[in-house]
Structure 1
Amino acid sequence: MTTSTSSEPSAAAPLIDLQALVVAVRRRRRLWCSMALLGLFVGAALAVLLPPRPTAVTKVLVAHQQDQPSDPGTLIRTDAALLQTTRIADKALRALKSSESPEDFMADYQGIGLTNNVLQITARGDSDVEASARAKALADVFVADHVARLKAAANAEADALLGQGDRLQNELAQVNEAIGQGPSANASATLESLYARRAALTSQIADFKQRAEEARIGTPQLIAGTQIVDDPTAVRHSLPKAVATDAVIGCVLGLVLGLALAAIGTVVADRPVLRREIAVNLGASVIAELRPAPRRSAMPWRRRRTRDARERLTRTLARAVRGSAEPVSLLELGCARSAAAIALDLARALAEEEPLVIIDGLPGRQFAGRRQEPGDPVVVSGERAAAAPQPEHRLGVGSVAPGTAWTDLQYLGTRTVLVVRAGHGSAAWLHTVARQLADLRIAVIGVVLIDPDPRDRTDGTLWDGLHTALRGQNERLARQNGPGRQGTERLPMWAARVPDSDQEVR
Structure 2
Amino acid sequence: MTTSTTTEPPAAAPLLDLHALVVAVRRRRRLWCSVALLGLLVGVAVAVLLPPPPTAVTEVLVAHQEDQPNDPGTLIRTDVAVLHTTRIAGEALRSLRSSEKPEDFLPDYEGAGLTNNMLRITVTGGSEAEALARAKALADAFVADHVRRIRDAANAEAKALLDQRDRMQGELAQVNKAIGDGSAQSGPKASADMESLFARRAELTSRITDFSQRAADARVGTPQLVAGTQIVDAPRVVRHSLPKTAATDAAIGLVLGLVLGLAVAAVGTVVADRPVLRREIAANLGASVTAELPRRSFGPWRRRRVRRARERLVTSLARTVRGAAEPVSLLELGCARATSVLALDVARALAAEEPVVVIDGLPGPHLAGRRPEPGDPTVVGGERAATVSHQERRLGVGSVAPGAAWTDLQYLGTQTVLVVRAGHGSAAWLHTVARQLADQRIAVIGVVLIDPDPRDRTDGTLWDGLHTALRAHDERLARQNGGGTSHAVQAAGEGRRRAERLPLGAARVPDSNQEAR
Structure 1 match to 2:259:
256
Contact kept in structure 2, 1:47 and 1:246, CA below 8 Å: yes
CA distance in 1, matches of 2:477, 2:24: 37
CA spacing shift, 1:392–1:60, aligned 2, 3 Å:
same
CA spacing shift, 1:469–1:250, aligned 2, 3 Å:
farther
| Residue 275 of structure 1, aligned match among 269, 275, 278 | 278
Contact kept in structure 1, 2:354 and 2:392, CA below 8 Å: no
CA spacing shift, 1:437–1:474, aligned 2, 3 Å:
farther
CA distance in 2, matches of 1:247, 1:469: 57
| 1:217-251 Cα shifts (integer Å, max 9, x gaps) | 10110000000000000000111111111111111
1:64 Cα offset (Å)? 0.4
| Residue 228 of structure 2, aligned match among 212, 215, 225 | 225
1:386 Cα offset (Å)? 4.5
Count of residue correspondences? 480
Contact kept in structure 2, 1:54 and 1:131, CA below 8 Å: yes
1:465 Cα offset (Å)? 4.7
CA spacing shift, 1:369–1:387, aligned 2, 3 Å:
closer
State the AA in 2 paired with 1:482.
Answer: Q
CA distance in 2, matches of 1:102, 1:486: 95
State the AA in 2 paired with 1:171.
Answer: E
CA spacing shift, 1:486–1:103, aligned 2, 3 Å:
farther
Structure 1 match to 2:384:
384
CA spacing shift, 1:256–1:390, aligned 2, 3 Å:
same
CA spacing shift, 1:358–1:318, aligned 2, 3 Å:
same
Contact kept in structure 1, 2:445 and 2:469, CA below 8 Å: no
CA distance in 2, matches of 1:103, 1:11: 66
Contact kept in structure 2, 1:443 and 1:470, CA below 8 Å: no
Contact kept in structure 2, 1:443 and 1:473, CA below 8 Å: no
Contact kept in structure 1, 2:277 and 2:458, CA below 8 Å: yes
Structure 2 match to 1:307:
307
| 1:266 and 2:274 aligned | no
Higher relative contact order (CA 8 A, sep 6+): 1
TM-score, normalization by structure 1 = 0.91
Structure 2's unaligned 5+ residue stretches are: 1-8, 479-484, 502-517
1:372 Cα offset (Å)? 2.7
CA spacing shift, 1:152–1:17, aligned 2, 3 Å:
same
Structure 1 match to 2:3:
none
Contact kept in structure 2, 1:438 and 1:470, CA below 8 Å: no
SS of residue matched to 2:163 = helix
Structure 1 match to 2:400:
400
CA spacing shift, 1:467–1:270, aligned 2, 3 Å:
farther
| 1:482 and 2:490 aligned | yes
Structure 2 match to 1:28:
28
CA spacing shift, 1:360–1:465, aligned 2, 3 Å:
closer
Structure 2 match to 1:324:
324
Structure 2 match to 1:207:
210
CA distance in 2, matches of 1:324, 1:144: 100
CA distance in 2, matches of 1:311, 1:302: 14
1:164 Cα offset (Å)? 1.3
Contact kept in structure 2, 1:31 and 1:258, CA below 8 Å: yes
CA distance in 2, matches of 1:467, 1:49: 68
CA spacing shift, 1:393–1:382, aligned 2, 3 Å:
same
Contact kept in structure 1, 2:92 and 2:137, CA below 8 Å: yes
Structure 1 match to 2:355:
355
1:466 Cα offset (Å)? 4.7
State the AA in 2 paired with 1:216.
Answer: R
SS of residue matched to 2:16 = coil
1:270 Cα offset (Å)? 0.7
1:24 Cα offset (Å)? 0.6
| 1:48-105 Cα shifts (integer Å, max 9, x gaps) | 1000000000000000010000001010011001100111111111111111111111
1:16 Cα offset (Å)? 1.1
Structure 1 match to 2:152:
152
Structure 1 match to 2:124:
124
SS of residue matched to 1:425 = coil
| 1:340-360 Cα shifts (integer Å, max 9, x gaps) | 011011111111111111111
CA spacing shift, 1:391–1:206, aligned 2, 3 Å:
farther
CA distance in 2, matches of 1:206, 1:474: 123
